[in-house]
Amino acid sequence: MNVVVCVKQIPDPADPGALDPESKTLKRDGKLILDESDSYGVEMALQLAGDSGEVTLVSMAPNGEVSGLRTALAMGAAKAVLVSDDALKGSDALTTAKVLAKAIERAGSYDLILAATESSDGYTGTVPEQIAEVLGLPSVTFAKAVTIDGTTVKVDRQTEAGYDEVTCPLPALVSVTAGVVEPRYPSFKGIMAAKSKPVDQVTVADLGLDAANVGWAGAGQEIIEVAQAEARQAGEVIEDDGEAFNRVVGFLSDLKII
């Protein structure tokens, strides 16, 4: 089983930097790291591919950034395709999906594509399904468990009330939630091995795309305004009079947590 994993490289959430005042996009000129959301997809892919298959990473990132890819290669992925090109600056989510779809085609034959349900920086949660549409593949979202049964993928798909069991023919694209599996830490041996694993760095032209259709030129979306998120409201304090657990249970039940 060959699995392709979409891996976004993002500014370190511990030091996320700033917005560009003109374009209102996140400045991404410093070092980027593997989005933690995607470490779940990488781990899931490694488990599904096993010893007989191969895991290939695809990423679109500025300045030839490979730090996040090296982390995923150190976890055990075999190789990567990185799309990096100044022409991509200003790309919206659909353009990102079109570019990643081309990179996936370049990566070779695959049975399954994995992505995270949403990234930690942009989190539109739309890129994976757009990739599937561009490639003409079925897609399943919000996977909390993924297994392969012959030529089909079986997914436990998280819902508000629990989960649905979904079966889908391969090849397919599945977006996974955090918690689908526990990502491994790269070993020292893995980190050393990752340094020499192949990263195929390509431009827009290498993928057969026209620079006039990507980046700011090709964006169908515009960022109108960026506003501060509302401050979190103070929580409710429940004094325990011996029956407080009933109110806590009622509160969690209203939220459908239990």
**Residue closer to ligand FAD (CB basis): 124 or 246:** 124
| Residue 114 C-beta: closest distance to ligand FAD, Å | 8
d(CA 56, CA 75): 12
Return the DSSP state at 17.
-
With residue 193 as reference, give the H or E element that holds it.
helix 188-194
Query: Quick one: tokens of 161?
Result: 């009330």
| Residue 240 C-beta: closest distance to ligand FAD, Å | 41
| Residue 235 C-beta: closest distance to ligand FAD, Å | 28
Number of other residues whose CB lies within 10 A of the CB of residue 190:
17
Q: Which residue has the tokens 């079986």?
A: 154
| Residue 122 C-beta: closest distance to ligand FAD, Å | 2
Find the residue with minimal CB distance to ligand FAD. Answer: 122
- 258, 252 contact by CB (below 8 A): yes
**Residue closer to ligand FAD (CB basis): 45 or 194:** 45
| Residue 204 C-beta: closest distance to ligand FAD, Å | 13
**Residue closer to ligand FAD (CB basis): 2 or 91:** 91
Site of interaction with ligand FAD (CB under 6 A): 6-8, 25-26, 28, 35, 37-38, 59-60, 89-93, 96, 100, 115-116, 118-119, 121-128, 219, 221-223
User: How far, in whole angstroms, is CA 223 from its chain's centroid?
Assistant: 21
**Residue closer to ligand FAD (CB basis): 224 or 255:** 224
- 143, 108 contact by CB (below 8 A): no
CA dihedral 226, 160, 139, 64 (to 10 degrees): 40
**Residue closer to ligand FAD (CB basis): 32 or 168:** 32
